[in-house]
Structure 1
Amino acid sequence: MSRIIWKGAIAFGLVNIPVILRPASRSQSLDLDLLDLRDMAPVGYQRINKSTGKPVDKEHIVKGYQYAKDEYVLLNDEDFRQANVEATQTVDIVSFVDAASIPPYYFDTPYYLEPDKRGERGYALLHETMRRTGKAALALVVLRARQHLAAMLVHEDALVLNTMRFADEVLPMSELRLPKAARGKATGAHAREVEMATKLVEDMTEDWAPEQYRDTYRDDLMARIEAKIESGKTHQLTPPSEEEAAPRQGAKVIDMVALLRQSLGKRGKDKQEDESESETESETEPARRKTPARHAAARKQPAAKRTGATSAKRARSSGSKTAGTKRAPARRDSHASAARKSSGTTGKKRAA
């Protein structure tokens, strides 16, 4: 179970619901160390005293607010708590909004809210009310000595608290150069293009299944690391590649409808191959791929190779399932083939 980040209560009008805050996300980035190339010794992150240039031990480090040049007020965790005791212990709901109305760029970090002792009834009440109304609760909460705007959302049986950015932390879109929505212009979307794009979106629409996606670049990087270990090149830096990046092409007129039509055709072909592959694998042997995402697997190998592999699997599968009733057509095919060869040879002799 994930660690407890914070304990407090949800303030819902006059109702207080004791809750526990737990992290709802984790980092899967590779843990890389900094090394000294000369002797492979780790390079640590040292806190340096700017006056003496010497490292400072952790127990000697405190927080301070500079109120005048070289003059500081020292602060510790108790100062942060006593600044506003209630704010540091409460998820204070200030309003409710339609959950779909919150722009996605306001969201920051998700946390799970779990009912604490004697908090189950109030938790269930708030959860069911928000589920029925489809609302999100906007709240203020202090975490790690900083106040956050947060959105409380319903997901399955849980309440999720997602910290948000304040409005002044979001850069305005007015500075962006965006295409106009007007149709018929060079930068606008034409009706035929929208129609074809809508078909592609509908064809690519699936049920939400996040477990089928994964960080395939991390897998590729780990494969490269393992290859360097196996080849004994662990202390050798890879020289820059002689291949240069392809120059960027200038702007040109693109036939969007043709590209969308090709995309739809490719989607249909890939679907048939995926379905045939899955049927063959289930009948012959368990799937060997570790990657659960068929999308990731599709990126790993070219379409031609997948087609060849699928054809081979189909051939093995059809061979293993051939029964007595299906052998007759095969013999007829072989006789037909022999007849064709014979006729071809006869034709050549006649020509000669």
Structure 2
Amino acid sequence: MSRIIWKGAITFGLVNIPVVLKPASRSQTLDLDLLDARDMAPVGYQRINKSTGKPIPKEHIVKGYQYEKDEYVVLSDEDFRQANVEATQTVDIVSFVQADDIPPYYFDTPYYLEPDKRGERGYALLRETMRRTGRAALALVVLRNRQHLAAMLVDDNALVLNTMRFADEVLPISELKLPKASSGKATGAHAREIEMAVKLIEDMSEEWAPEQYRDTYRDDLMARIEQKIESGQTHELTPAAEEEEAPRKSAKVIDMVALLKQSLDTRGKRGGRDKSSEPQEEDAPRKTARRAPARKHAPAKRAAGSRASAKRPSHPSGGKSTSASRTTARRKQA
């Protein structure tokens, strides 16, 4: 079971709901260590004093805020806690908004909220009220010495707290160079293209099932690691492959309708085609005909080679007499 990383309460109005905060995600990235390629010794991570160049023990490292050049105010863990004791112990709901109104790029890290002792009734009340109104709660919470804006959402029977980015942390979309919505310009989407794209999207639509998607890159990398272990290549480096510069392709006009139609046809052949109408009986002889000569070619080539060698003269003079007779015949014709 996931660990408890925070204990406090949800507050809105005069309501106080004791809760605990638990992680809702985990990292599946491979834990790789840095090694010295010469002797495979681990490369450690050291905190170095920039003045002396010597490593510093962890217990001697403190956090400081530079308020002037080379002048610092040192802050301890107790300073962070006492800055706002109430803020570090509450998920303070400040407003409710429509869940669909929150742009996705504001979301950051998800957490689960679980009712603590004597918090079940208030937890259920808040959850069912939010479910009925379709609202998300916007709250302020302090985690790991930093205040976060957070969105509280209902998922099944749980309240999920998703930390968010503040508005000044999100870069404005207006800085992007985007195609206009009008279809009159070359960069816009035309009605025919939209119609075909809608059909393709509908054809590719399915129920939400996240378990069917996997980090295939991680799986392939683990398979390569296991292959190296099995073959005994535990201390060998794989040489870098030589990359050839890809030839530059000239720009060409893209027919979006043709590409969309091709995509629909391809998907239809994969899943929607009626197999009973396929000429299966005609396909079998073709596959056999392609494979059959491969078995006959090898001996045929050997036989042709043996016949050619039988016709060749056993001594070099045969080649000269043949060329001489051809020369004489040409002179007579002349």
TM-score range for the pair, normalised by the shorter chain length: 0.7 to 0.9
TM alignment of 1:292-311, pairs within 5 A: none
1:8 matched residue in structure 2: 8
Secondary structure of 2:121 counterpart: helix
Cα-Cα RMSD: 2.0
For residues 205-239 of structure 1, what are the alpha-carbon distances to aligned partners after superposition, in whole Å with 9 as ceiling and x for unaligned? 11100000000011111222223333333333333
The percentage of counterpart residues that share the same residue type is: 83
1:285 matched residue in structure 2: none
Secondary structure of 1:214 counterpart: coil
TM alignment of 1:91-170, pairs within 5 A: 91-170=91-170
For residues 152-179 of structure 1, what are the alpha-carbon distances to aligned partners after superposition, in whole Å with 9 as ceiling and x for unaligned? 0110100000000011101111111111
Q: Distance in 1 between matches of 2:173 and 2:189?
A: 20
* 1:248, distance to aligned residue in structure 2 (A): 4.9
Q: Distance in 2 between matches of 1:75 and 1:3?
A: 27
1:203 matched residue in structure 2: 203
Q: Distance in 2 between matches of 1:121 and 1:241?
A: 62
Amino acid at match of 2:91: V
2:60 matched residue in structure 1: 60
Q: Distance in 2 between matches of 1:184 and 1:33?
A: 55
Segment drifting more, 51-60 vs 18-27: 51-60
Structure 1 unaligned regions, length at least 5: 277-310, 313-352
Q: CA distance change for structure 1 residues 126 and 219 in 2, over 3 Å: closer, same or farther?
A: same
Q: Distance in 2 between matches of 1:83 and 1:129?
A: 33
Q: Distance in 1 between matches of 2:97 and 2:250?
A: 45
Query: Whose radius of gyration is greater, 1 or 2?
Result: 2
Total equivalences in the alignment: 277
2:244 matched residue in structure 1: 244
* 1:88, distance to aligned residue in structure 2 (A): 0.7
Q: Distance in 2 between matches of 1:272 and 1:243?
A: 40
Amino acid at match of 1:221: L
* 1:272, distance to aligned residue in structure 2 (A): 5.3
1:194 matched residue in structure 2: 194
Q: CA distance change for structure 1 residues 207 and 129 in 2, over 3 Å: closer, same or farther?
A: same
2:35 matched residue in structure 1: 35
* 1:271, distance to aligned residue in structure 2 (A): 2.2
Secondary structure of 1:34 counterpart: coil
Q: Verify: 1:180 aligned to 2:180, yes or no.
A: yes
For residues 161-200 of structure 1, what are the alpha-carbon distances to aligned partners after superposition, in whole Å with 9 as ceiling and x for unaligned? 0000011101111111111111132111111110110011
* 1:204, distance to aligned residue in structure 2 (A): 0.7
Q: Distance in 2 between matches of 1:143 and 1:76?
A: 16
For residues 224-283 of structure 1, what are the alpha-carbon distances to aligned partners after superposition, in whole Å with 9 as ceiling and x for unaligned? 22233333333333333234253453432111111111111211222259x99xxxxxxx
Q: CA distance change for structure 1 residues 248 and 226 in 2, over 3 Å: closer, same or farther?
A: farther
Amino acid at match of 2:158: A
Amino acid at match of 2:189: A
Q: CA distance change for structure 1 residues 248 and 116 in 2, over 3 Å: closer, same or farther?
A: farther
Q: CA distance change for structure 1 residues 251 and 174 in 2, over 3 Å: closer, same or farther?
A: farther
Normalization by structure 2: what TM-score? 0.79
1:216 matched residue in structure 2: 216
Secondary structure of 1:218 counterpart: helix
For residues 31-69 of structure 1, what are the alpha-carbon distances to aligned partners after superposition, in whole Å with 9 as ceiling and x for unaligned? 100001111110011111112111111112121222333
Q: Verify: 1:226 aligned to 2:212, yes or no.
A: no
Q: Distance in 1 between matches of 2:247 and 2:220?
A: 25
TM alignment of 1:269-308, pairs within 5 A: 269-271=269-271
Q: Distance in 2 between matches of 1:270 and 1:20?
A: 48
Q: CA distance change for structure 1 residues 264 and 27 in 2, over 3 Å: closer, same or farther?
A: same
For residues 302-322 of structure 1, what are the alpha-carbon distances to aligned partners after superposition, in whole Å with 9 as ceiling and x for unaligned? xxxxxxxxx99xxxxxxxxxx
Amino acid at match of 2:162: N
Secondary structure of 1:136 counterpart: strand
Secondary structure of 2:30 counterpart: coil
Q: CA distance change for structure 1 residues 238 and 272 in 2, over 3 Å: closer, same or farther?
A: farther
Segment drifting more, 59-68 vs 174-183: 59-68
Q: CA distance change for structure 1 residues 248 and 109 in 2, over 3 Å: closer, same or farther?
A: farther
2:296 matched residue in structure 1: none
Normalization by structure 1: what TM-score? 0.75
Q: CA distance change for structure 1 residues 10 and 180 in 2, over 3 Å: closer, same or farther?
A: same
2:314 matched residue in structure 1: none
Amino acid at match of 1:108: D
Q: Distance in 2 between matches of 1:233 and 1:250?
A: 43
